Structure 1
Protein backbone atom coordinates (compact mmCIF):
# COMPACT_ATOMS: atom_id res chain seq x y z
CA UNK A 1 0.00 0.00 0.00
CA UNK A 2 1.73 3.15 -1.24
CA UNK A 3 2.09 5.94 1.29
CA UNK A 4 3.88 8.41 -0.97
CA UNK A 5 6.57 8.49 -3.65
CA UNK A 6 8.71 11.00 -5.49
CA UNK A 7 12.03 12.05 -7.00
CA UNK A 8 14.86 14.03 -5.49
CA UNK A 9 18.23 15.47 -6.50
CA UNK A 10 20.90 17.08 -4.33
CA UNK A 11 23.32 19.82 -5.39
CA UNK A 12 25.65 19.42 -2.42
CA UNK A 13 27.03 16.53 -0.38
CA UNK A 14 24.02 14.77 1.16
CA UNK A 15 23.61 12.87 4.40
CA UNK A 16 20.83 10.32 4.64
CA UNK A 17 18.26 11.07 7.36
CA UNK A 18 18.80 9.46 10.75
CA UNK A 19 15.46 7.83 11.48
CA UNK A 20 13.39 4.76 12.32
CA UNK A 21 10.31 4.49 10.12
CA UNK A 22 6.99 2.67 10.47
CA UNK A 23 6.90 2.01 6.71
CA UNK A 24 9.18 0.37 4.14
CA UNK A 25 11.22 2.30 1.59
CA UNK A 26 12.26 1.55 -1.99
CA UNK A 27 15.07 3.64 -3.50
CA UNK A 28 16.33 3.70 -7.10
CA UNK A 29 19.39 5.86 -7.77
CA UNK A 30 19.24 7.35 -11.27
CA UNK A 31 22.46 9.39 -11.16
CA UNK A 32 25.49 9.45 -8.88
CA UNK A 33 25.55 7.27 -5.78
CA UNK A 34 23.98 7.23 -2.33
CA UNK A 35 25.40 6.03 0.99
CA UNK A 36 23.04 4.72 3.68
CA UNK A 37 23.37 2.47 6.72
CA UNK A 38 20.60 0.14 7.87
CA UNK A 39 21.27 -0.99 11.42
CA UNK A 40 24.98 -1.80 11.17
CA UNK A 41 25.09 -2.68 7.45
CA UNK A 42 26.36 -0.05 5.03
CA UNK A 43 25.04 0.16 1.47
CA UNK A 44 26.42 2.15 -1.46
CA UNK A 45 23.65 2.46 -4.05
CA UNK A 46 25.24 3.06 -7.43
CA UNK A 47 23.52 4.48 -10.52
CA UNK A 48 20.72 2.19 -11.79
CA UNK A 49 20.76 0.20 -8.53
CA UNK A 50 17.94 -0.16 -6.00
CA UNK A 51 17.73 -0.73 -2.26
CA UNK A 52 14.86 -1.73 0.02
CA UNK A 53 14.93 -0.33 3.57
CA UNK A 54 12.85 -2.24 6.09
CA UNK A 55 10.56 -0.53 8.55
CA UNK A 56 11.43 -0.60 12.23
CA UNK A 57 15.19 -0.57 11.59
CA UNK A 58 17.56 2.32 12.23
CA UNK A 59 18.50 4.10 8.97
CA UNK A 60 21.19 6.74 8.87
CA UNK A 61 24.07 7.99 6.79
CA UNK A 62 27.31 9.90 6.61
CA UNK A 63 27.97 12.95 4.39
CA UNK A 64 29.12 10.75 1.51
CA UNK A 65 26.30 10.97 -1.05
CA UNK A 66 27.79 12.84 -4.00
CA UNK A 67 26.47 16.18 -5.29
CA UNK A 68 24.24 15.70 -8.32
CA UNK A 69 22.91 12.38 -7.04
CA UNK A 70 19.26 11.81 -7.92
CA UNK A 71 16.86 9.07 -6.92
CA UNK A 72 13.27 7.90 -6.92
CA UNK A 73 11.74 6.73 -3.66
CA UNK A 74 8.58 4.88 -2.73
CA UNK A 75 7.28 4.73 0.83
CA UNK A 76 4.90 1.81 1.26
CA UNK A 77 3.24 -0.30 3.94
CA UNK A 78 3.33 -4.09 3.79
CA UNK A 79 0.59 -5.93 5.67
CA UNK A 80 1.91 -8.15 8.41
CA UNK A 81 1.00 -11.78 7.72
CA UNK A 82 1.99 -13.85 10.71
CA UNK A 83 -0.21 -16.80 9.79
CA UNK A 84 1.80 -20.03 9.71
CA UNK A 85 -0.27 -21.08 6.68
CA UNK A 86 1.63 -18.59 4.51
CA UNK A 87 4.23 -20.57 2.58
CA UNK A 88 7.81 -19.50 1.91
CA UNK A 89 7.68 -20.77 -1.70
CA UNK A 90 5.63 -19.57 -4.65
CA UNK A 91 3.24 -22.16 -6.10
CA UNK A 92 4.74 -24.29 -8.88
CA UNK A 93 3.73 -22.82 -12.22
CA UNK A 94 2.88 -26.27 -13.58
CA UNK A 95 0.15 -26.76 -10.94
CA UNK A 96 -2.37 -24.24 -12.16
CA UNK A 97 -5.59 -24.74 -10.18
CA UNK A 98 -6.36 -21.75 -8.02
CA UNK A 99 -8.00 -21.86 -4.62
CA UNK A 100 -7.57 -19.43 -1.72
CA UNK A 101 -4.53 -21.25 -0.33
CA UNK A 102 -2.80 -20.87 -3.72
CA UNK A 103 -2.29 -17.20 -2.85
CA UNK A 104 -1.14 -17.84 0.72
CA UNK A 105 2.58 -17.40 0.19
CA UNK A 106 5.23 -14.76 0.70
CA UNK A 107 8.41 -14.10 -1.24
CA UNK A 108 11.50 -12.03 -0.45
CA UNK A 109 12.28 -9.00 -2.58
CA UNK A 110 15.90 -8.58 -3.74
CA UNK A 111 17.42 -6.29 -1.13
CA UNK A 112 19.95 -4.45 -3.29
CA UNK A 113 21.29 -4.63 -6.81
CA UNK A 114 20.64 -4.12 -10.49
CA UNK A 115 19.44 -6.00 -13.57
CA UNK A 116 18.53 -5.27 -17.20
CA UNK A 117 15.06 -4.29 -15.94
CA UNK A 118 16.58 -1.35 -14.06
CA UNK A 119 17.28 0.38 -17.39
CA UNK A 120 13.53 0.87 -17.89
CA UNK A 121 12.69 1.31 -14.22
CA UNK A 122 13.40 5.05 -14.23
CA UNK A 123 10.77 5.74 -16.88
CA UNK A 124 8.21 3.56 -15.11
CA UNK A 125 8.75 5.37 -11.83
CA UNK A 126 8.58 8.76 -13.54
CA UNK A 127 5.10 7.90 -14.83
CA UNK A 128 4.05 6.83 -11.33
CA UNK A 129 5.33 10.11 -9.86
CA UNK A 130 3.33 12.05 -12.46
CA UNK A 131 0.18 10.13 -11.53
CA UNK A 132 0.76 10.50 -7.79
CA UNK A 133 -1.54 12.99 -6.21
CA UNK A 134 -3.86 13.41 -9.19
CA UNK A 135 -7.46 13.66 -7.94
CA UNK A 136 -8.75 10.50 -9.57
CA UNK A 137 -11.23 8.01 -8.13
CA UNK A 138 -9.43 5.05 -6.53
CA UNK A 139 -6.18 6.78 -7.46
CA UNK A 140 -4.07 5.44 -4.58
CA UNK A 141 -5.47 1.92 -5.05
CA UNK A 142 -4.49 2.00 -8.72
CA UNK A 143 -1.08 3.42 -7.84
CA UNK A 144 -0.49 0.70 -5.24
CA UNK A 145 -1.41 -2.00 -7.78
CA UNK A 146 1.04 -0.51 -10.28
CA UNK A 147 3.83 -0.43 -7.70
CA UNK A 148 3.06 -4.04 -6.73
CA UNK A 149 3.30 -5.07 -10.38
CA UNK A 150 6.56 -3.17 -10.68
CA UNK A 151 7.97 -5.01 -7.66
CA UNK A 152 6.89 -8.34 -9.17
CA UNK A 153 8.72 -7.46 -12.40
CA UNK A 154 11.77 -6.45 -10.36
CA UNK A 155 11.68 -9.74 -8.47
CA UNK A 156 11.47 -11.74 -11.71
CA UNK A 157 14.21 -9.76 -13.44
CA UNK A 158 16.63 -10.03 -10.52
CA UNK A 159 16.02 -13.78 -10.28
CA UNK A 160 16.64 -14.30 -13.99
CA UNK A 161 19.69 -12.02 -13.90
CA UNK A 162 21.12 -13.93 -10.95
CA UNK A 163 20.73 -17.26 -12.76
CA UNK A 164 22.29 -15.93 -15.97
CA UNK A 165 25.38 -14.49 -14.28
CA UNK A 166 26.46 -17.63 -12.46
CA UNK A 167 26.61 -21.29 -13.31
CA UNK A 168 23.75 -23.30 -11.88
CA UNK A 169 24.95 -25.91 -9.42
CA UNK A 170 23.88 -29.51 -9.41
CA UNK A 171 21.26 -28.92 -6.74
CA UNK A 172 19.68 -26.00 -8.62
CA UNK A 173 18.89 -28.17 -11.65
CA UNK A 174 17.22 -30.97 -9.69
CA UNK A 175 13.78 -29.35 -9.29
CA UNK A 176 13.45 -28.65 -13.00
CA UNK A 177 14.54 -32.15 -13.98
CA UNK A 178 12.14 -33.70 -11.47
CA UNK A 179 9.24 -31.58 -12.75
CA UNK A 180 9.97 -32.64 -16.34
CA UNK A 181 9.95 -36.30 -15.32
CA UNK A 182 6.78 -36.01 -13.24
CA UNK A 183 4.89 -34.23 -16.01
CA UNK A 184 5.88 -36.97 -18.46
CA UNK A 185 4.66 -39.65 -16.02
CA UNK A 186 1.57 -37.99 -14.52
CA UNK A 187 -0.70 -40.69 -15.94
CA UNK A 188 0.84 -43.47 -13.88
CA UNK A 189 1.68 -44.29 -10.26
CA UNK A 190 4.79 -42.67 -8.84
CA UNK A 191 7.93 -44.82 -8.95
CA UNK A 192 10.83 -43.45 -6.89
CA UNK A 193 13.27 -46.00 -8.31
CA UNK A 194 12.38 -45.03 -11.86
CA UNK A 195 12.92 -41.35 -11.05
CA UNK A 196 16.23 -42.08 -9.33
CA UNK A 197 17.48 -44.09 -12.31
CA UNK A 198 16.34 -41.41 -14.75
CA UNK A 199 18.23 -38.66 -12.92
CA UNK A 200 21.10 -40.96 -11.94
CA UNK A 201 20.86 -39.62 -8.39
CA UNK A 202 20.06 -41.06 -4.99
CA UNK A 203 16.34 -40.67 -4.25
CA UNK A 204 16.97 -39.34 -0.73
CA UNK A 205 19.05 -36.54 -2.24
CA UNK A 206 16.43 -35.87 -4.93
CA UNK A 207 13.62 -35.74 -2.36
CA UNK A 208 15.46 -33.43 0.07
CA UNK A 209 16.68 -31.05 -2.65
CA UNK A 210 13.29 -30.81 -4.34
CA UNK A 211 11.60 -30.08 -1.01
CA UNK A 212 14.10 -27.32 -0.25
CA UNK A 213 13.67 -25.66 -3.62
CA UNK A 214 9.88 -25.94 -4.01
CA UNK A 215 8.44 -26.42 -0.53
CA UNK A 216 6.63 -29.57 -1.72
CA UNK A 217 7.52 -33.23 -1.58
CA UNK A 218 8.06 -35.12 -4.83
CA UNK A 219 5.07 -37.40 -4.16
CA UNK A 220 2.80 -34.45 -3.29
CA UNK A 221 3.80 -32.71 -6.52
CA UNK A 222 3.20 -35.85 -8.58
CA UNK A 223 -0.26 -36.21 -7.06
CA UNK A 224 -1.13 -32.58 -7.76
CA UNK A 225 0.04 -32.90 -11.35
CA UNK A 226 -2.24 -35.91 -11.84
CA UNK A 227 -5.18 -34.08 -10.31
CA UNK A 228 -4.35 -31.05 -12.43
CA UNK A 229 -4.59 -33.20 -15.56
CA UNK A 230 -7.88 -34.64 -14.30
CA UNK A 231 -9.27 -31.13 -13.78
CA UNK A 232 -8.25 -30.14 -17.28
CA UNK A 233 -10.13 -33.11 -18.73
CA UNK A 234 -13.15 -32.27 -16.58
CA UNK A 235 -13.19 -28.74 -17.99
CA UNK A 236 -12.53 -29.58 -21.63
CA UNK A 237 -13.90 -33.09 -22.34
CA UNK A 238 -17.00 -35.20 -21.77
CA UNK A 239 -15.07 -37.93 -19.92
CA UNK A 240 -16.73 -39.17 -16.74
CA UNK A 241 -14.99 -39.81 -13.42
CA UNK A 242 -14.35 -43.50 -14.11
CA UNK A 243 -12.84 -42.78 -17.52
CA UNK A 244 -10.59 -40.06 -16.13
CA UNK A 245 -9.51 -42.31 -13.27
CA UNK A 246 -8.58 -45.05 -15.72
CA UNK A 247 -6.65 -42.68 -18.02
CA UNK A 248 -4.61 -41.48 -15.04
CA UNK A 249 -3.69 -45.00 -14.03
CA UNK A 250 -5.63 -45.14 -10.76
CA UNK A 251 -6.59 -48.64 -9.66
CA UNK A 252 -10.25 -47.74 -9.16
CA UNK A 253 -12.42 -44.61 -9.38
CA UNK A 254 -13.25 -44.66 -5.65
CA UNK A 255 -9.60 -44.27 -4.71
CA UNK A 256 -9.20 -41.55 -7.34
CA UNK A 257 -12.20 -39.70 -5.87
CA UNK A 258 -10.68 -39.84 -2.37
CA UNK A 259 -7.38 -38.46 -3.64
CA UNK A 260 -9.15 -35.75 -5.65
CA UNK A 261 -11.19 -34.60 -2.64
CA UNK A 262 -8.10 -34.57 -0.41
CA UNK A 263 -6.23 -32.31 -2.85
CA UNK A 264 -9.08 -30.06 -4.03
CA UNK A 265 -11.43 -30.16 -1.06
CA UNK A 266 -14.47 -31.41 -2.97
CA UNK A 267 -15.47 -34.51 -4.89
CA UNK A 268 -14.87 -34.87 -8.65
CA UNK A 269 -18.62 -34.70 -9.35
CA UNK A 270 -18.96 -31.51 -7.29
CA UNK A 271 -16.03 -29.94 -9.13
CA UNK A 272 -17.45 -30.91 -12.53
CA UNK A 273 -20.77 -29.28 -11.66
CA UNK A 274 -19.09 -25.82 -11.69
CA UNK A 275 -18.55 -25.85 -15.45
CA UNK A 276 -20.95 -25.02 -18.25
CA UNK A 277 -21.08 -27.86 -20.73
CA UNK A 278 -23.52 -28.77 -23.46
Structure 2
Protein backbone atom coordinates (compact mmCIF):
# COMPACT_ATOMS: atom_id res chain seq x y z
CA UNK A 1 0.00 0.00 0.00
CA UNK A 2 1.34 3.44 -0.94
CA UNK A 3 2.00 5.27 2.34
CA UNK A 4 2.15 8.77 0.91
CA UNK A 5 -0.03 11.41 -0.67
CA UNK A 6 1.25 12.50 -4.07
CA UNK A 7 0.52 15.98 -5.36
CA UNK A 8 1.61 17.44 -8.67
CA UNK A 9 2.72 21.01 -9.32
CA UNK A 10 0.37 21.57 -12.25
CA UNK A 11 -2.93 20.47 -10.63
CA UNK A 12 -4.49 21.34 -7.30
CA UNK A 13 -6.79 19.23 -5.10
CA UNK A 14 -10.49 19.91 -5.58
CA UNK A 15 -12.20 20.36 -2.21
CA UNK A 16 -15.57 18.69 -1.57
CA UNK A 17 -16.10 19.91 1.99
CA UNK A 18 -14.32 20.96 5.17
CA UNK A 19 -15.55 20.47 8.72
CA UNK A 20 -14.86 20.22 12.43
CA UNK A 21 -16.16 17.87 15.13
CA UNK A 22 -15.80 17.09 18.81
CA UNK A 23 -16.91 13.99 20.68
CA UNK A 24 -17.92 13.98 24.32
CA UNK A 25 -17.47 10.20 24.74
CA UNK A 26 -15.50 7.36 23.22
CA UNK A 27 -15.94 7.54 19.47
CA UNK A 28 -15.74 5.01 16.64
CA UNK A 29 -14.61 6.21 13.24
CA UNK A 30 -17.08 5.25 10.46
CA UNK A 31 -16.50 2.01 8.53
CA UNK A 32 -16.35 3.01 4.85
CA UNK A 33 -14.58 3.11 1.50
CA UNK A 34 -14.68 6.56 -0.10
CA UNK A 35 -14.22 7.76 -3.66
CA UNK A 36 -12.24 10.79 -2.45
CA UNK A 37 -9.20 11.49 -0.25
CA UNK A 38 -9.39 12.70 3.36
CA UNK A 39 -7.11 14.98 5.37
CA UNK A 40 -7.60 14.59 9.13
CA UNK A 41 -6.10 16.98 11.67
CA UNK A 42 -6.54 16.39 15.40
CA UNK A 43 -6.57 19.63 17.39
CA UNK A 44 -6.84 17.98 20.82
CA UNK A 45 -7.23 14.45 22.20
CA UNK A 46 -6.43 11.50 19.93
CA UNK A 47 -8.18 9.60 17.13
CA UNK A 48 -7.90 5.92 16.24
CA UNK A 49 -8.46 4.73 12.67
CA UNK A 50 -7.50 1.66 10.63
CA UNK A 51 -6.83 1.75 6.87
CA UNK A 52 -6.63 -1.56 4.99
CA UNK A 53 -5.66 -3.29 8.23
CA UNK A 54 -2.96 -0.76 9.19
CA UNK A 55 -3.80 0.95 12.52
CA UNK A 56 -3.08 4.64 13.14
CA UNK A 57 -3.31 6.85 16.22
CA UNK A 58 -3.47 10.57 15.42
CA UNK A 59 -2.38 12.53 18.47
CA UNK A 60 -3.02 16.21 19.13
CA UNK A 61 -1.39 18.53 16.55
CA UNK A 62 -0.91 15.65 14.13
CA UNK A 63 -2.44 14.90 10.72
CA UNK A 64 -3.23 11.81 8.66
CA UNK A 65 -4.19 11.31 5.01
CA UNK A 66 -6.72 8.59 4.14
CA UNK A 67 -6.63 7.59 0.49
CA UNK A 68 -9.66 7.12 -1.72
CA UNK A 69 -10.62 3.58 -2.63
CA UNK A 70 -9.04 2.12 0.52
CA UNK A 71 -11.22 0.63 3.22
CA UNK A 72 -10.89 2.42 6.56
CA UNK A 73 -12.70 2.05 9.85
CA UNK A 74 -12.28 2.61 13.58
CA UNK A 75 -12.55 0.80 16.86
CA UNK A 76 -14.27 2.23 19.93
CA UNK A 77 -11.02 3.90 21.03
CA UNK A 78 -11.05 7.55 19.98
CA UNK A 79 -10.67 9.54 23.20
CA UNK A 80 -13.61 11.46 24.63
CA UNK A 81 -13.26 15.21 24.05
CA UNK A 82 -11.21 14.77 20.88
CA UNK A 83 -11.51 17.69 18.47
CA UNK A 84 -10.65 17.23 14.81
CA UNK A 85 -10.92 18.83 11.40
CA UNK A 86 -11.34 17.12 8.06
CA UNK A 87 -10.91 18.10 4.45
CA UNK A 88 -12.48 15.88 1.79
CA UNK A 89 -10.97 16.37 -1.66
CA UNK A 90 -10.36 14.82 -5.06
CA UNK A 91 -7.11 14.97 -6.98
CA UNK A 92 -7.47 16.18 -10.58
CA UNK A 93 -6.67 13.47 -13.13
CA UNK A 94 -3.16 13.87 -14.53
CA UNK A 95 -3.77 11.46 -17.41
CA UNK A 96 -0.60 10.02 -18.91
CA UNK A 97 1.59 12.99 -17.97
CA UNK A 98 5.11 12.04 -16.95
CA UNK A 99 6.28 13.82 -13.80
CA UNK A 100 9.73 14.29 -12.33
CA UNK A 101 10.21 13.05 -8.78
CA UNK A 102 11.95 16.22 -7.60
CA UNK A 103 10.84 19.85 -7.52
CA UNK A 104 12.96 22.43 -9.37
CA UNK A 105 15.61 23.94 -7.16
CA UNK A 106 14.62 27.22 -5.57
CA UNK A 107 17.40 29.07 -7.38
CA UNK A 108 16.03 27.91 -10.75
CA UNK A 109 12.75 29.75 -10.46
CA UNK A 110 12.29 30.97 -14.03
CA UNK A 111 9.79 29.06 -16.14
CA UNK A 112 10.89 26.51 -18.70
CA UNK A 113 8.66 24.09 -20.65
CA UNK A 114 8.47 21.24 -18.13
CA UNK A 115 8.82 23.42 -15.03
CA UNK A 116 5.55 22.28 -13.41
CA UNK A 117 5.81 18.59 -14.28
CA UNK A 118 7.01 17.30 -10.94
CA UNK A 119 5.58 15.47 -7.96
CA UNK A 120 5.41 16.44 -4.31
CA UNK A 121 5.35 13.59 -1.82
CA UNK A 122 3.73 14.23 1.56
CA UNK A 123 4.10 11.84 4.48
CA UNK A 124 0.93 9.93 5.23
CA UNK A 125 1.11 11.01 8.86
CA UNK A 126 3.04 13.72 10.64
CA UNK A 127 3.16 16.72 12.93
CA UNK A 128 1.44 19.88 11.73
CA UNK A 129 3.06 23.30 11.64
CA UNK A 130 2.05 26.10 14.07
CA UNK A 131 -1.12 27.90 13.09
CA UNK A 132 -2.79 24.92 11.44
CA UNK A 133 -6.07 25.43 13.33
CA UNK A 134 -6.20 29.11 12.33
CA UNK A 135 -5.74 28.12 8.69
CA UNK A 136 -8.50 25.51 8.84
CA UNK A 137 -10.89 27.85 10.67
CA UNK A 138 -10.29 30.49 8.00
CA UNK A 139 -11.06 27.93 5.29
CA UNK A 140 -14.36 26.99 6.92
CA UNK A 141 -15.29 30.63 7.40
CA UNK A 142 -14.52 31.32 3.75
CA UNK A 143 -16.90 28.59 2.64
CA UNK A 144 -19.66 30.14 4.76
CA UNK A 145 -19.16 33.56 3.14
CA UNK A 146 -20.03 32.23 -0.30
CA UNK A 147 -17.95 34.62 -2.38
CA UNK A 148 -17.73 34.15 -6.15
CA UNK A 149 -15.48 31.24 -7.11
CA UNK A 150 -15.38 30.27 -3.45
CA UNK A 151 -14.82 26.53 -3.97
CA UNK A 152 -11.92 27.26 -6.31
CA UNK A 153 -10.47 29.77 -3.83
CA UNK A 154 -10.80 27.18 -1.05
CA UNK A 155 -9.18 24.47 -3.15
CA UNK A 156 -6.23 26.77 -3.89
CA UNK A 157 -5.89 27.56 -0.17
CA UNK A 158 -5.94 23.86 0.71
CA UNK A 159 -3.26 23.25 -1.93
CA UNK A 160 -1.13 25.97 -0.33
CA UNK A 161 -1.68 24.35 3.07
CA UNK A 162 -0.50 20.99 1.67
CA UNK A 163 2.53 22.70 0.11
CA UNK A 164 3.40 24.11 3.53
CA UNK A 165 3.08 20.65 5.06
CA UNK A 166 5.42 19.35 2.39
CA UNK A 167 7.93 22.13 3.10
CA UNK A 168 7.77 21.40 6.83
CA UNK A 169 8.54 17.74 6.18
CA UNK A 170 11.48 18.73 3.96
CA UNK A 171 12.88 21.04 6.64
CA UNK A 172 12.77 18.19 9.18
CA UNK A 173 15.05 16.12 6.94
CA UNK A 174 17.35 18.97 6.00
CA UNK A 175 19.94 18.49 8.72
CA UNK A 176 21.79 15.69 6.87
CA UNK A 177 25.29 16.24 5.56
CA UNK A 178 24.09 15.43 2.03
CA UNK A 179 21.64 18.33 2.16
CA UNK A 180 24.36 20.66 3.46
CA UNK A 181 26.76 19.60 0.72
CA UNK A 182 24.08 20.18 -1.93
CA UNK A 183 23.43 23.68 -0.58
CA UNK A 184 27.17 24.41 -0.71
CA UNK A 185 27.28 23.19 -4.32
CA UNK A 186 24.38 25.45 -5.28
CA UNK A 187 26.05 28.41 -3.57
CA UNK A 188 29.24 27.74 -5.54
CA UNK A 189 27.35 27.37 -8.83
CA UNK A 190 25.38 30.55 -8.19
CA UNK A 191 28.54 32.56 -7.58
CA UNK A 192 30.12 31.14 -10.76
CA UNK A 193 27.10 31.29 -13.07
CA UNK A 194 28.82 33.74 -15.44
CA UNK A 195 31.60 31.37 -16.41
CA UNK A 196 32.08 27.84 -17.79
CA UNK A 197 31.70 25.03 -15.28
CA UNK A 198 34.85 23.58 -13.74
CA UNK A 199 34.60 20.29 -11.85
CA UNK A 200 38.11 20.70 -10.45
CA UNK A 201 37.36 24.18 -9.08
CA UNK A 202 34.19 22.92 -7.38
CA UNK A 203 35.98 19.92 -5.85
CA UNK A 204 38.80 22.16 -4.61
CA UNK A 205 36.39 24.71 -3.15
CA UNK A 206 34.53 22.05 -1.14
CA UNK A 207 37.63 19.92 -0.55
CA UNK A 208 35.77 16.77 -1.65
CA UNK A 209 36.05 14.32 -4.52
CA UNK A 210 33.99 15.45 -7.53
CA UNK A 211 32.49 11.99 -8.15
CA UNK A 212 31.18 11.97 -4.59
CA UNK A 213 29.83 15.53 -4.97
CA UNK A 214 28.11 14.62 -8.23
CA UNK A 215 26.44 11.47 -6.86
CA UNK A 216 25.34 13.22 -3.65
CA UNK A 217 23.88 16.20 -5.48
CA UNK A 218 21.96 14.00 -7.92
CA UNK A 219 20.51 11.93 -5.09
CA UNK A 220 19.36 14.96 -3.09
CA UNK A 221 18.09 17.22 -5.90
CA UNK A 222 17.28 14.89 -8.78
CA UNK A 223 19.46 17.02 -11.08
CA UNK A 224 23.06 16.77 -12.19
CA UNK A 225 25.56 19.45 -11.16
CA UNK A 226 26.22 20.39 -14.79
CA UNK A 227 22.48 20.64 -15.56
CA UNK A 228 22.00 22.91 -12.57
CA UNK A 229 24.95 25.11 -13.53
CA UNK A 230 23.58 25.40 -17.07
CA UNK A 231 20.14 26.43 -15.81
CA UNK A 232 21.65 29.00 -13.45
CA UNK A 233 23.78 30.33 -16.28
CA UNK A 234 20.79 30.68 -18.59
CA UNK A 235 18.73 32.19 -15.80
CA UNK A 236 21.41 34.88 -15.66
CA UNK A 237 21.02 35.28 -19.43
CA UNK A 238 17.28 35.87 -19.06
CA UNK A 239 17.95 38.44 -16.33
CA UNK A 240 20.25 40.30 -18.75
CA UNK A 241 17.55 40.17 -21.44
CA UNK A 242 15.10 41.76 -19.05
CA UNK A 243 17.35 44.47 -17.67
CA UNK A 244 19.84 45.45 -20.36
CA UNK A 245 20.10 46.34 -24.03
CA UNK A 246 22.71 43.68 -24.74
CA UNK A 247 22.22 41.62 -27.89
CA UNK A 248 22.40 37.82 -27.97
CA UNK A 249 26.07 37.77 -28.94
CA UNK A 250 26.94 40.17 -26.08
CA UNK A 251 25.00 38.08 -23.57
CA UNK A 252 26.67 34.91 -24.80
CA UNK A 253 30.07 36.54 -24.37
CA UNK A 254 29.15 37.96 -20.93
CA UNK A 255 28.34 34.43 -19.73
CA UNK A 256 31.56 32.94 -21.00
CA UNK A 257 30.20 31.17 -24.08
CA UNK A 258 32.86 31.52 -26.76
CA UNK A 259 30.40 30.55 -29.51
CA UNK A 260 27.01 32.35 -29.62
CA UNK A 261 25.58 29.58 -31.81
CA UNK A 262 26.36 27.02 -29.12
CA UNK A 263 24.78 29.36 -26.54
CA UNK A 264 21.64 29.55 -28.68
CA UNK A 265 21.49 25.76 -29.00
CA UNK A 266 21.80 25.26 -25.23
CA UNK A 267 19.21 27.98 -24.56
CA UNK A 268 16.69 26.40 -26.94
CA UNK A 269 17.20 22.98 -25.37
CA UNK A 270 16.30 24.37 -21.93
CA UNK A 271 13.63 26.96 -22.77
CA UNK A 272 12.13 25.42 -25.88
CA UNK A 273 12.85 28.43 -28.12
CA UNK A 274 15.82 30.41 -29.35
CA UNK A 275 17.19 33.30 -27.25
CA UNK A 276 16.19 35.78 -29.97
CA UNK A 277 12.58 34.52 -29.86
CA UNK A 278 12.62 34.66 -26.07
CA UNK A 279 14.06 38.18 -26.17
CA UNK A 280 11.14 39.43 -28.28
CA UNK A 281 8.81 38.78 -25.31
CA UNK A 282 10.24 41.77 -23.45
CA UNK A 283 9.49 45.44 -24.02
CA UNK A 284 12.64 47.42 -23.39
CA UNK A 285 13.20 51.15 -23.57
CA UNK A 286 16.97 50.87 -23.94
Residue 228 (structure 1) shift: 0.6
Residue 97 (structure 1) aligns with: 110
* Structure 2: distance between partners of 1:254 and 1:178: 28
| Aligned residue in 2 for 1:263 | 270
- Aligned match of 2:250 in 224, 235, 243? 243
Deviation at 1:202, TM superposition (A): 2.1
Is the Cα contact below 8 Å between 2:120 and 2:166 reproduced in 1? Answer: no
1:121 paired residue number:
132
1:147 to 1:169, Cα distance in 2 relative to 1, 3 A: closer
Q: Give the 5 Å matches for 1:187-202.
A: 187-202=194-209
Pairwise CA distance, 1:169:
2.7
SS at match of 1:108: strand
Partner of residue 42 from structure 2, selected from 13, 29, 35: 29
2:155 aligned with 1:144, yes or no? yes
Asked if residue 86 in structure 1 is aligned to residue 99 in structure 2, the reply is yes
**Aligned match of 2:221:** 214
Once structures 1 and 2 are overlaid, which stretch shifts more, 182-191 or 198-207? 198-207
Which of 11, 23, 43 is the equivalent residue of 2:56? Answer: 43
Distance in 1 between residues matched to 2:173 and 2:201, nearest whole Å: 32
**Going by fraction, where is strand more abundant, 1 or 2?**
2
In 2: Cα distance, 1:91 partner to 1:33 partner: 37
Match of 1:59 among 57, 72, 75: 72
Q: 1:208 to 1:40 in 2, by over 3 A?
A: farther
* Gapped regions of structure 2 (runs ≥ 5): 1-13
Please say if residues 15 and 88 of structure 2, whose CA atoms lie closer than 8 Å, have aligned partners that are also in contact. Answer: yes
- CA distance in 2 between counterparts of 1:106 and 1:142 reads 22
Distance 1:178 1:162, change over 3 A: closer
Deviation string, structure 1 residues 207-239 (Cα, Å, up to 9, x no partner): 122112111111111111111101100110111
RMSD: 1.7
TM-score (norm 1): 0.92
SS of structure 2 residue aligned to 1:103: coil
SS of equivalent residue, structure 1 residue 109: strand
Greater relative contact order (Cα < 8 A, sep 6+): 2
- C-alpha distance in 2 between matches for 1:193 and 1:99: 29
TM-score normalised by length of structure 2:
0.89
**Structure 1, unaligned stretches of length 5 or more?**
none
Of 153, 169, 174, which residue of structure 2 is paired with 1:158?
A: 169
| Aligned equivalent of 2:9 | none
Is contact 2:113–2:271 with CA below 8 Å preserved after alignment? no
